[in-house]
Structures are given as structure tokens and as C-alpha cells.
Amino acid sequence: MTRAFDPTGGKPGQVRFFLPGPVWVRDAVRQAMAHEAIGHRGKAFADLYSRIPPRLARVFRTNGFVFTTTSAGTGLWEAALLNLMPERILALASGAFSERWAACARDLGLAVDVLEAPWGSAIAPDEVRRALGRSRYDAVTVVHSETSTGALNDLAAVARTVRDASDAFVLADVVTSIAGSPVECDDWGLDFALTGSQKAFALPPGLGLAFASDRFRARAKERSRAHYLRLSEAEAFAEQHQTPYTPSTPHLFALDVQLDHILDETLEARWARHDALRGRVAAWAAERGHAYAAAEGSRSWTVSCLKPRPGISAEALVARVKERGYTIGGGYGKWKASTFRIGHMGDVDLASLEGLLAALDESAGEAAA
Ligand code: PLP
């Protein structure tokens, strides 16, 4: 039994916003952003920033270095690559975001081989092992929770395989997994793990959060070609409780409040709540005949990507439920017309999800294909 905790901070049953990011934001977090202006080289800022990395490290489950920057998640894809400057990358791709990270590496002029799995499936660690046996790679990119398909890779197993089979760095996008489902940066041997504030951290968009391992930081010191997102600078400034460039201070006030909320719920209880939310969607989908895009056993805890039962149009369903005041995600990329996505991450409670599912049931009759 998890103890009674109101994740919504006073609005149980009232959440209507279920995008797979950006997500619904609690009142207390929004109010924290309205803090009066402070300078980022003064004591007030240092006091604020000194509180952030130690608690962030608890969420990333590391004794190592975690930093924040004013950036979308995509900026941290670039940061991972530009700080490491790998000779050759193995990009694991099984959906739109993992494909885009590979494209990001190519845009930076890096050598990339893509190991592809069909959209909706998880990457098989054995395939990764074989690929690592064929060529020498010094970095592997992997997206933990593929938000476009709702598939969850076994990041622990992939990281273990990479470590066993090579000395490549494990660069992980944990954008829609961390703070919603288990991510263990130290225990899993990750080298870089990145997210954005607008996912299971349940903050407004605009803040990038990332962990970097000791060996990543050591190599970055020698090889980095990054400027704005140069890790060694972020680290040097963090020691003085500052950021190298003007930070979005409102986001940091919000993060300060939200880290207390997350740790007060406890990470384990937060994971359990997300597990219960995905379990409820799974039971509902099975009863209604909506099919998961991802196989059972490799489904994200934070986003469910569903193909509506025959006769229902996914796009019409998204539109009809919107008329009832509920926002859900449409399909992504090539799955735009054929799927809909329910984001159930952050500070959403089960009672609110029940409201959404009831609204989807009502809408289904008006969403003929
Ligand atoms: N990676 C994943 C798994 C995502 O879901 C997203 C956005 O939805 C991104 C990366 C990109 O994040 P951003 O839009 O903050 O750049």
C-alpha cells in the first residue's frame, strides 16, 4: 500500500490535460514561477541553486553530477554528442525520437550507424551485442521510453550489454521515463541521461536536466566541441552554485518546489502511481478493444499509444474528447492517423484518469472512421 498522497496538490480528479508532454502543472509550481526577479550572480540565486543538484541526483539515482540548463530536451541530445565527440555512434532506433537523435548526430557531422527495430518494438539486447561485434563504436544512443510508440526499451539490459561487449559510452534519453518509472543512472552504468522539465517532472517546458558519468566528464574535458552546453563549464559554475549563462530562474524556483514534492511522495511511490495509471489504461483498452502499439512487457509507464478498435478514427476520437474538455495526444509522425496517445505522467491521479476514460467512452460513438 502506498500512503495517501495527493499528487495533484489539491486538485484530485480535476486534471483534464493528458498530453505525453508538455504535461499538466500543479498550482504550487506555477505560482513558484511568479517569484520576483533575482540576479543570477547574487546570493539569493546561489542559495536556490545550491539546493538543486543534490536533490536532482536523488531522482537520477546517482552520486555523480547532474546539471540543469535552459533548453529543450533536443538541446541535450546535442550536448551529449558535442561534449563526447564520438568517432562512431551506434544509434538504436525504433520510433520517431530515436530516429531524430540519430539525425541530430548526422547533422553534427558525426559518423552514425543505425540499428533499427520496427516501430513499437523494443530493441533486443542480443542485436545490440551483434552490432557491437561488427564495428567499433565509442557511443551508443538509446531512447528509454519511445514517446512516439509507447514502447519501453530495457535500458538496464541494453546498458549492460554495451558495457560487456565494448567500451562504448551509453547515452540515454530518459525524457519520458525518469521520475515516472525506474531509471538507475549509477546501477545501470549509464554515461549520460537527459530529460526535459515538461515530462514526468511535471514542470512547464524550458528546462533541460542531465546526468553525466565521471568517465563521460573526463573525456568531455578533453574533447568537447560544445559551447553553450559545455559540460566542464556547467560543472565549474555548479561548484559555485551558479550556471555559466543566464538561467531561466523562474524554472529553477519551480524545480525547487517540485523536487520537494517528488521526494515527499518518494520516488518509489511515484513509480508505483505511474504503474497503476498505465495498468488502468491497459485494463480499459482491453475491455474496449483498443490495441496497444507496443507489446506487453515493453510498454512505457508514462505514455500509452493505442490503435482504436475497428470502426473508430483515432483523429476523430482526439477531436471529440477535446470537445469534452480533455486533451490527449494524437498519433506521432507516420502513426499520426492510426493511433492516439494518452500521457499519464507527472502529477496526474487515478481519479482524473477515470474521468478521461469515461470521456473517451462517450466520444467513441461519435468518432466513426
Ligand atoms: N525524446 C523523447 C523521448 C521525447 O518524447 C521528446 C519530446 O517529446 C524529445 C526527446 C524532445 O524533447 P524536446 O521537445 O523538449 O526537445
CA distance 349 to 13: 7
72 lines ligand 1 (CB under 6 A): yes
With the most atoms of ligand 1 within 8 angstroms of its CB, the residue from 176, 177, 195 to mutate is 176
Is 368:313 a contact under the CB 8 Å cutoff? Answer: yes
- ∠ CA 11-15-19, nearest 5°, is 145
Phi, psi angles (nearest 5°) of residue 85: 45, 65
- Kindly state if the Cβ of 143 falls inside 6 Å of ligand 1: yes
Is the pLDDT score of 2 beyond 80? Answer: no
Write down the mean pLDDT value for the chain.
97
Band of residue 368 on the pLDDT scale cut at 50, 70, 90: confident
User: How much distance in Å is there from the Cα of 270 to the middle of ligand 1?
Assistant: 21
315: number of Cβ within 10 Å? 17
Give the model's pLDDT for residue 211. Answer: 98
Substitution candidate for ligand 1 out of 71, 92, 147, 207 with most atoms within 8 A of CB: 147
| CA–centroid distance, residue 327 to ligand 1 (Å) | 18
Q: Please, what is the angle between helix 43-50 and helix 249-265, to 10°?
A: 30
Three-class DSSP category at 162: helix
pLDDT at res. 3 = 56
Alpha carbons 34 and 47: distance in angstroms, whole number: 18
192-242 pLDDT, tens per residue? 999 999 999 999 999 999 999 999 999 999 999 999 999 999 999 999 999
175 C-alpha to ligand 1 centroid (Å): 6
User: Is pLDDT at 318 greater than 90 in this prediction?
Assistant: yes
- What is the C-alpha separation between 80 and 293, in angstroms, rounded? 29
Q: What is residue 123's DSSP assignment?
A: P
DSSP code string of 298-327: SB-SSEEEEEPPTTB-HHHHHHHHHHTT-E
Write the CA distances from 185 to 91, 130, 188, 200, 210, integer angstroms: 19, 24, 6, 17, 10
Q: Which residues pair with 330 in a beta bridge?
A: 340
Average pLDDT over residues 161-179: 98
Nearest-atom number in ligand 1 for the CA of 205 is 15
What is the tens place of the pLDDT at every residue in 35-52? 999 999 999 999 999 999
Q: Is the CB of 332 under 6 A from ligand 1?
A: no
Q: How far apart are CA 25 and CA 207, in angstroms?
A: 14
- High-pLDDT (> 90) share of the chain, %: 98
At 24 the pLDDT is 98
**pLDDT confidence band for 143 (50 / 70 / 90):** very high
Cis ω for the linkage preceding 22 (within 30 of 0): yes
148 ligand 1 Cβ < 6 A? no
Instruction: Please state, in angstroms and rounded to a whole number, the distance separating the CA atoms of residues 234 and 53.
Output: 12
Judge whether 47 and 40 are in contact, CB under 8 Å: no
Q: What is the pLDDT of residues 51-82, one digit of tens each?
A: 999 999 999 999 999 999 999 999 999 999 99
Atom of ligand 1 nearest to the CA of 72: 15
Nearest-atom index, ligand 1, CA of 148? 5
